[in-house]
Structure formats: C-alpha cells, structure tokens
Amino acid sequence: MSKSDCSFNTSTQYHLILFVAGNGPNSSIARVNIAGICENELAGRCTLTIVDVLKDFSAAAENNILVTPTLLICKPEPEVTVIGNLSDHEKVRRALNLEALQS
C-alpha cells in the first residue's frame, strides 16, 4: 500500500482508500481526481491510501473490491464505495457528504 496524507493533521475526519490497477488510464485519472478532491475539498481533514491491486491483491480481496478504480470511504461511517475514475465530482462530493457540510 502506498500512503499519501492530505495533511498530517492529527484530527483526521476522512479515511479514503483508492484501489487502482497499475497505471492504466482510468486508474491514472482516478488518482488525479482524488488528489484534487483531497487538496481542494478535504484539505487537512483526510488520509488517502492508494492500493495497486496488481501489487497487493489481498487488500482488494479483503475489502471485497472486484473492479478498479474504486474509492472506499472508510471514515466517516457508514462505509461508502464509489466505482469509476471519480470524474463525476458531484457524485464523489455526495458520497463524502460534503454538500451537507457546506449548507
């Protein structure tokens, strides 16, 4: 697993795991999209772990990940899964419950 903290803030509110398959086009797009979301929407409030299933298939199996790219939102609960390259920013924001925070 490759770990990338959005910030080293000790009061992490979001824990995200992005499952990708190597450097394929959709996996690369998903990496860029989630990095932008972490930087612009969750700055200082998230921890992002990137799992390349080609190198660590057991992590995908343990989390029941069958398709990549897949974003697993572990915290805050409930656990939510977003499948795809994360280009639909509104869908990702809803999954992260960010709209409720900005109301």
Q: What are 80-102's pLDDT values in tens digits?
A: 999 999 999 999 999 998 875 55
Residue 45 CB-density burial (10 A; 0-12 exposed, 13-18 middle, 19+ buried):
middle
For the stretch 24-76, pLDDT in tens is: 999 999 999 999 999 998 988 999 999 999 999 999 999 999 999 999 999 99
Which domains occur in the chain, in start order?
Answer: 2-101 (3.40.30.10)
- CA–CA gap between residue 59 and residue 65 (Å, rounded): 8
Centre a 10 Å sphere on the Cβ of residue 16 and count the other Cβ atoms it contains: 23
